[in-house]
Amino acid sequence: MSDITPHNARNGDFLAWPFFDEAHRRLGAELDAWCTRELKVDHHADTDATCVSLVRQLGRAGWLKYCVSASHGGALDQLDSRALCVLRETLARHDGLADFAFAMQGLGSGAITLAGSEVLKQRYLPRVASGEAIAAFALSEPNAGSDVAAMACSATRDGDDYVLNGEKTWISNGGIADFYCVFVRTGEAPGARGISAFVVDADTPGLTIAERIDVSAPHPLARLKFENCRVPASARLGEAGQGFKVAMMTLDIFRASVAAAALGFARRALDEGLARAKSREMFGQTLADFQITQAALGEMATSVDAAALLTYRAAWQRDVQGQRTTREAAMAKMFATESAQQVIDRALQMFGGAGVVSGAIVERLYREIRSLRIYEGATEVQKLIIARELLKDG
């Protein structure tokens, strides 16, 4: 295993870039030191129990406070994209499951932060920040993944309540969440304009876990079923028919952080590849002495820096310039995830057979990066978003 201390030449000096202020630099260094000291994830243990434990651990240490605003138990007055990215990159560089646990607290509660009533914010957000309540974001359906406007899960108004019927799938934290931010069709208008969002507690009658889903990089994932699931109208997030807008605003905030997680995976893979290249002896020299290895390392390092520049540009534009960053976040997410896949693949190749042994760091990274190219908008969807924004500006 390579050295992953925070301020070596590869991993620390990016925090000196002008995208950051001193608080971000301290945050990155402090989290890195905490991860090195405290983060001991057993990937062979029960995944559900491990994720619950990680949420509690991150909450006790104060890191989850960056997922909500200060007025509701958070660390900052408002969500800070650069802080979220620094935190996710650092966690991902140490362990992907820890990054997942952190990220879902933010994504799962983001719609409440953006559109919830004060009552809902006070009920849920402090518990998210402390790690006492586990959050989930329920948007995708069996026939409505990338095409969110095609969702069929519905909610019908019945007096002071709404009654939900239908299914959601590929829901991260499904099965362990204490509450779900659920997006359903309420029919105020056709397509995306007829969607509303609700907070649904996990123990609400009519909500069941229909299926647990196992994937290559294990994390809690499930299909949810709603059968005459009754929730009060006061659980609605924002106005009726505004759910799609709330969902897109939430994803816009956290999309750059997905790029940051991919960046953390790529940095770790580069570190592992460098360590392997310098230590692996073959044909009377080290792997690093071969020009073909040097060329691969050069391309890997360049990809990492390019991804970092795109990622932190998007976060900086949102935080400092107050710009809408749909295009920039899509570029960062697309490039960082795709390039991380290539960096990790090359690092694994340097390990030869040892790289595909179950449990090896590069083998785990290889499995963990794959889903990032799909969730929160697949690469192909990011390309469409970028093109749409270009055409709109033109």
- What's the gap between Cα 44 and its chain centre? 22
**Overall average pLDDT of the 207-214 stretch:** 96
Residues 207 and 337 in one domain: no
pLDDT at residue 394 in the model: 63
Q: Is the pLDDT of residue 338 over 90?
A: yes
Residues 166 and 122 in one domain: no
pLDDT at residue 12 in the model: 59
Q: Is the pLDDT of residue 393 over 80?
A: no
pLDDT at residue 9 in the model: 39
- Is residue 262 within 8 Å of 340, Cβ to Cβ? yes
- Is residue 341 within 8 Å of 267, Cβ to Cβ? no
- β-partners of residue 55 are none
Domain count of the chain? 3
| Cα angle for residues 168, 173, 179 (degrees, 5° grid) | 75
pLDDT at residue 323 in the model: 82
- Whole-number mean pLDDT of the chain? 93
**Overall average pLDDT of the 241-257 stretch:** 91
pLDDT at residue 5 in the model: 43
**Overall average pLDDT of the 9-29 stretch:** 83
List the CATH number of the domain containing 337. Answer: 1.20.140.10
Q: Which domain holds residue 273?
A: 244-393
- Is residue 71 within 8 Å of 97, Cβ to Cβ? no
- Is residue 304 within 8 Å of 270, Cβ to Cβ? yes
User: What is the pTM for the complete model shown?
Assistant: 0.93
Residues 232 and 324 in one domain: no
pLDDT at residue 8 in the model: 43
Domain assignment present for residue 2? The answer is no
Residues 220 and 267 in one domain: no
Q: Both tokens of residue 13?
A: 């000096």
Residues 250 and 381 in one domain: yes
Q: Both tokens of residue 163?
A: 């009654």
Question: DSSP state, 17?
Answer: S
Residue at a domain's end among 81, 110, 133: 133
- β-partners of residue 155 are 164
Q: Is the pLDDT of residue 165 over 70?
A: yes
Instruction: Give the H or E element holding residue 164.
Output: strand 161-172
**Overall average pLDDT of the 19-38 stretch:** 95
At 201 the three-state DSSP class reads strand
List the CATH number of the domain containing 34. Answer: 1.10.540.10
- Is residue 337 within 8 Å of 258, Cβ to Cβ? yes
pLDDT at residue 322 in the model: 87
pLDDT at residue 13 in the model: 80
List the CATH number of the domain containing 236. Answer: 2.40.110.10
**Overall average pLDDT of the 230-257 stretch:** 93
What is the chain's Cα-based Rg? 21
Question: What is the C-alpha to C-alpha distance for residues 43 and 364, in angstroms, rounded to an integer?
Answer: 9
When mean pLDDT is compared across 17-21, 81-85, 336-340, the lowest value belongs to: 17-21
E-strand stretches of 233-354 = 236-237, 281-282, 285-286
More confident site: 264 or 375:
264
Q: Is the pLDDT of residue 4 over 70?
A: no
Question: What is the C-alpha to C-alpha distance for residues 52 and 43, in angstroms, rounded to an integer?
Answer: 13
Express each pLDDT in 184-195 by its tens digit.
999 998 888 999
Domain assignment present for residue 194? The answer is yes
Question: What is the C-alpha to C-alpha distance for residues 394 and 391, in angstroms, rounded to an integer?
Answer: 5
DSSP result, 95-114: -HHHHHHHHHHHHHHHHHHH
Express each pLDDT in 88-143 by its tens digit.
999 999 999 999 999 999 999 999 999 999 999 999 999 999 999 999 999 999 88
**Overall average pLDDT of the 208-214 stretch:** 95
- β-partners of residue 82 are none
Question: What is the C-alpha to C-alpha distance for residues 267 and 12, in angstroms, rounded to an integer?
Answer: 11
pLDDT at residue 143 in the model: 83
* pLDDT-above-70 percentage for the chain: 96
Residues 229 and 213 in one domain: yes
Question: What is the C-alpha to C-alpha distance for residues 18 and 22, in angstroms, rounded to an integer?
Answer: 10
- β-partners of residue 385 are none
3-state secondary structure 273-317: HHHHHHHCEECCEEHHHCHHHHHHHHHHHHHHHHHHHHHHHHHHH
Question: What is the C-alpha to C-alpha distance for residues 235 and 294, in angstroms, rounded to an integer?
Answer: 56
Residues 255 and 385 in one domain: yes
- Res. 44 pLDDT band, cuts 50 70 90: confident
Residues 261 and 381 in one domain: yes
Q: Which residues are catalytic?
A: 376
Domain assignment present for residue 4? The answer is no
Residues 267 and 361 in one domain: yes
Express each pLDDT in 283-306 by its tens digit.
989 999 999 999 999 999 999 999
Residue at a domain's end among 240, 269, 286: 240
Task: Identify which of 384, 303, 364, 299 has the alpha carbon closest to the alpha carbon of residue 337.
Answer: 303
Count of all residues that appear for the chain in the document: 394
Residues 178 and 72 in one domain: no
pLDDT at residue 190 in the model: 86
Domain assignment present for residue 6? The answer is no
Residue 292 phi, psi (nearest 5): -65, -35
Express each pLDDT in 166-182 by its tens digit.
999 999 999 999 999 99
* pLDDT-above-90 percentage for the chain: 83
